[in-house]
Amino acid sequence: MSRIGKLPIEIPAGVTVDINDNVVTVKGPKGELKQAINPNITVEKEDNQIKVSRPDNNRESRAQHGLYRALIHNMVVGVSTGFKKEMEIVGVGYRATMKNPQTLELALGYSHTIYVKMPPEVKANAVSERNKNPLITLESADKQLLGQICAKIRSFRKPEPYKGKGIKFVGEVIRRKSGKTAAAK
């Protein structure tokens, strides 16, 4: 039995879960999310818990058992508390500002500025303080969408290993390389 898949999902107060025709709909204070479920996997709602089970021990069924349990759990957590990611821009002259509530403007050392249009499900905020690296804070109920937006922003200027310049997550450790001078000794 899948260790992740067999764990029940607790439904917090203020969150409603509907299961119709292999589609799980979760509504809460932060929004509404839907997920289609493979017909082989059964999802049942009992009292304040959701239980996910599988019909057999096929390799595909075992893999999907844990997957769909994790997806439903992320939906429940997302609509109740939400997800938040913070990104830091390291580099001289690199800036991030909000053009309007849904457009992020990035100056990353290229000859042009980069504009990132945020989907309506994602709330973005850019803070620039003196003598500190600019911070981009992204919040959403959808963990998958939030990760995809963060990956897109990071792809514009990944952190490089020599000086550490680029866009990185707050708390992320970049493996640094020594330059040419260290090799000459």
117-170 pLDDT tens trace: 999 999 999 999 888 999 999 999 999 999 999 999 999 999 999 988 999 999
Instruction: Show Cβ contacts of residue 76 under 8 Å, excluding neighbours closer than 6 positions.
Output: 9, 10, 11, 12, 15, 17, 26, 28, 50
One fold for both 9-80 and 83-169? yes
Alpha helices in the chain (DSSP H): 59-80, 143-155, 180-184
Q: Which residues pair with 84 in a beta bridge?
A: 139
pTM summary value: 0.88
CATH topology of domain 83-169: Outer Surface Protein A; domain 3 (3.90.930)
Sheet of 31-36, strands arranged across: 16-20, 23-28, 31-36
CA 58 – CA 56 distance, rounded (Å):
6
Q: What is the mean pLDDT of each run of 10 residues along the chain (185 residues)?
A: 82 92 93 93 91 90 91 95 95 91 92 95 92 94 95 94 92 87 60
Taking the domains of the chain in order of start, what are their residue ranges? 9-80, 83-169
- The domain defined by 9-80 folds into Outer Surface Protein A; domain 3 (3.90.930)
The DSSP bridge partners found for residue 127 are 135
Separation of alpha carbons 116 and 127, rounded Å: 16
